Structure 1
Amino acid sequence: MNWRRCGRRAAQAQVVSTSVPDPDWSMLLDEALAEIFQRLPLPERLQVVPMVCKNWKKVACDPTSWRVIDMVPWIQQKMDAECMWEYDCEPVVDRLVKILVDRSRGQLRELRTMYVSDDAIEYMADRCPLLEVLTMQSSLGVTNKSALKLATMSPKLRHLDVSDCYNISKQALMAFGDNCPSLEWLGRNMVNQNATNHAFEMASSPPGGDEEAITMSRHYPRLKHLEMKKTCISDRGLRHLAIGCRNLQSLNVACCYVLSPKALDDVSRNCTNLREFTKPITPRMHISPNDFQATMLFE
């Protein structure tokens, strides 16, 4: 008798008998399915998941499946596929935001979008009192009108990104600081070159400048994370931030060309909790504020 062959067969039989059976998705709790659905791309959540079975359709339509929404990948893909401009996207994005807000039935916690307007933001402010995270970069259609309303209606907001939103001023930033005590993360980057140059030409107080930095220093004492990339903040605004926002743990002022090494050192000295500090490129620190706008034209 070939004992080696018998031993091999016994081992194979043991492996088969101890193998784990495939999981039965129908046995998952609705809460677990909702958590999984929230991690899927937006088109699949809207078009694919409800077609799988009756239970998945029921869960996909439940408000718990729409607490966290990320629209950014879908927006970027749509713009590339259809060669759309920002202003062409605005009505499409606004309409979808309203649909998703309705699906959440007041349970929306996190929304990441872009190219929205006052219409969608006001609609959301009236219906989403539990909102904690909002990113709406490059939303030129958002003004103080909707931003002020959102600030008063979203007291739980803790993460806000209004980068490249050039029609939001320091008055709106002040309202967010006064009405959202949990706000710890703020994005105010100005990386859209064309819009930045236009904003400098049209505004007496450029967005992302010293006046906004001073506003943050006075109304954001609990701020821990701040991004102001490619803004026109100078030493004056940075020193106010160092004094008023001592709880900062991360600060990004990359490409802020007019900052001096001394002002940057003052931040490091005053903000003792600062662990991540992204500074401008050293060779460009000598540029004067008067030359800042001209420098931007050659980027």
Structure 2
Amino acid sequence: MALDPPPRKRRRIAVVQDTVICRLSDDVLLHIFGYLDVLSVLRSSRTCRQWHRLAADRTLWQHVDVTRFKMDTKRLWKFIRRHGSDKMKSLSVRGLATDPAKLGKKKAVLISSSLAADINSRCSNLEHLHLFNCDLRDLQLSNLPTMKLRTLHLHNCVLSANWLQVDIEVEGRRGRRECILPHLNTLNLHQSAMIARYDLIQITYLSQLKHLDLSQCYRVDDQGLMTVSEHVPGIVYLNISGCTRVTDASMHRVGRHLNQLRVLEMKNLFRLTDLGISCIANMCHKLEVLDISLCTAVSDASVMELATKLSQLKKLNVSLCHQLSDNCLESISLLLPSCLIITKMTTD
């Protein structure tokens, strides 16, 4: 019986790398890689051993945006274990919560409590966390790396009731409580439907908060908005567009307490009338951007008052305010010559 011949050894072919980029030092290549997005860095790591080694450098993974990828829990966990470190400053991920076929299933969870704990331990210096379309009902806010967070975006995320638990009791110290987001200055809760009055009460513990986005949170009402206005006076950006329960009743508190406001977006508040707009005109003198588009109950009188009293306005959106006359629009253009006045809804 004939024996099989021994396997032939592969001959290594020497490749002479004499191109300009191959003669660059590691420091220069790292600087170039710093301009690439996540996908480009991952593809570059397959080029050669040197680039594979450089692509794993922690300095390239300080600001990570993987929202363009469809990632489940397993893939995200593998990615965090490979690239997560204390050098990471920002992380943006997209879940599958908008897919009706996967909502409620294990794949839609994306960030489990175990994965959150791993992110917390590996990325302890995380400052900016952006979560899009994530199902967070089985996760608590305290599971996330919150102590150094400055920005938290929960865009269209599925939350449980009373999920935004900011003020918690210190473990082992009965009766002592602390804020787990002491440095947060930007909170975006756009289209997070379960945000209600209790969550707004929790927001009052965020003493450093400057930017607050509650757009499309339809459970937000006057009482919750008044509570936030009274206890977080340092807010300079407020977006309550689509909060259809908000009426004129809360506008006086907003104008009285949020006197540092620079940007106020109140799109599609159909219950807002001239009375509420007048409160804003008389109290928010530092306002630079105001959006009252689709506020169909607003008339010429209050808009003229805005143009007269808010001299620092740089942008005013009054599109689809059907009660405004052409004479009113011409008058505010004359009163605010340096202000961009939007009278027609765009597709942006």
TM-score class normalised by the smaller sequence: 0.5 to 0.7
Q: CA 1:45–1:271 in structure 2 vs 1: closer, same or farther (change >3 Å)?
A: farther
More moved, 229-238 vs 256-265: 256-265
Q: CA 1:34–1:129 in structure 2 vs 1: closer, same or farther (change >3 Å)?
A: farther
Q: What is the match of residue 258 of structure 2?
A: 220
Give the length in aligned residue pairs.
Answer: 244
Q: What is the match of residue 97 of structure 2?
A: 78
Q: What is the match of residue 94 of structure 1?
A: 137
Residues 147-158 of structure 1 aligned to structure 2 (within 5 Å): 147-152=200-205, 154-158=206-210
Contact (CA 8 Å) 2:149, 2:181: kept in 1 or not?
Answer: yes
Contact (CA 8 Å) 1:68, 1:108: kept in 2 or not?
Answer: no
Q: CA 1:242–1:82 in structure 2 vs 1: closer, same or farther (change >3 Å)?
A: same
Q: What is the match of residue 63 of structure 2?
A: 36
Alpha-carbon offset, residue 172 of structure 1: 2.8
Partner deviation per Cα, 1:249-297 (whole Å, 9 max, x = no partner): 11111110111123112112211111111003254548xxxxxxxxxxx
Q: What is the match of residue 281 of structure 2?
A: 242
Look up the equivalent residue of 1:151 and give its one-letter code: T
Partner deviation per Cα, 1:30-87 (whole Å, 9 max, x = no partner): 4x344222x33286696547646xxx7375154x63x64556x53xx432352759xx
Q: CA 1:20–1:263 in structure 2 vs 1: closer, same or farther (change >3 Å)?
A: farther
User: How far apart, CA to CA, are the structure 2 residues paired with 1:160 and 1:104?
Assistant: 20
- Structure 2 counterpart of 1:142, from 189, 195, 198: 195
Look up the equivalent residue of 2:202 and give its one-letter code: K
More moved, 158-167 vs 246-255: 158-167
User: How far apart, CA to CA, are the structure 1 residues paired with 2:151 and 2:72?
Assistant: 16
1:57 aligns with 2:86: no
Q: What is the match of residue 163 of structure 2?
A: 120
Alpha-carbon offset, residue 121 of structure 1: 0.3
Q: Secondary structure at the match of 1:171?
A: helix
1:185 aligns with 2:237: yes
Partner deviation per Cα, 1:168-201 (whole Å, 9 max, x = no partner): 333332332333343111111117xxxx5xxxxx
User: How far apart, CA to CA, are the structure 1 residues paired with 2:249 and 2:81?
Assistant: 50
Among all aligned residue pairs of Structure 1 and Structure 2, give the percentage whose two residues are the same amino acid: 17
Look up the equivalent residue of 2:292 and give its one-letter code: V
Q: What is the match of residue 185 of structure 2?
A: 132
Alpha-carbon offset, residue 139 of structure 1: 3.3
Q: What is the match of residue 19 of structure 2?
A: 16
Q: When you count helix as a share of all residues, which structure comes out higher?
A: 1
User: How far apart, CA to CA, are the structure 1 residues paired with 2:63 and 2:191?
Assistant: 29
Gaps of 5+ in 1: 1-14, 197-206, 287-299
Alpha-carbon offset, residue 136 of structure 1: 1.4
Partner deviation per Cα, 1:211-240 (whole Å, 9 max, x = no partner): 122221111100111111110211110011
Q: Secondary structure at the match of 2:187?
A: strand
Contact (CA 8 Å) 1:208, 1:228: kept in 2 or not?
Answer: no
Contact (CA 8 Å) 2:297, 2:321: kept in 1 or not?
Answer: no
Look up the equivalent residue of 2:281 and give its one-letter code: A
Q: Secondary structure at the match of 1:277?
A: strand
Greater relative CO, 1 or 2 (CA 8 Å, sep 6+): 1
Look up the equivalent residue of 2:241 and give its one-letter code: N
Q: CA 1:133–1:43 in structure 2 vs 1: closer, same or farther (change >3 Å)?
A: farther
User: How far apart, CA to CA, are the structure 1 residues paired with 2:222 and 2:23?
Assistant: 59
Q: CA 1:284–1:29 in structure 2 vs 1: closer, same or farther (change >3 Å)?
A: same
Q: What is the match of residue 108 of structure 1?
A: 149
User: How far apart, CA to CA, are the structure 2 residues paired with 1:217 and 1:175?
Assistant: 13
Gaps of 5+ in 2: 1-17, 31-50, 110-132, 169-178, 326-348
User: How far apart, CA to CA, are the structure 2 residues paired with 1:97 and 1:276?
Assistant: 39
Q: CA 1:131–1:214 in structure 2 vs 1: closer, same or farther (change >3 Å)?
A: same
Q: CA 1:18–1:127 in structure 2 vs 1: closer, same or farther (change >3 Å)?
A: closer
Q: Secondary structure at the match of 2:189?
A: strand
Q: Decide which structure has the larger Cα Rg and report it.
A: 2
Partner deviation per Cα, 1:114-162 (whole Å, 9 max, x = no partner): 343443201587422222211113334222223212212x111111111
Look up the equivalent residue of 2:164 and give its one-letter code: I
Q: What is the match of residue 247 of structure 2?
A: 209
Q: CA 1:18–1:40 in structure 2 vs 1: closer, same or farther (change >3 Å)?
A: closer
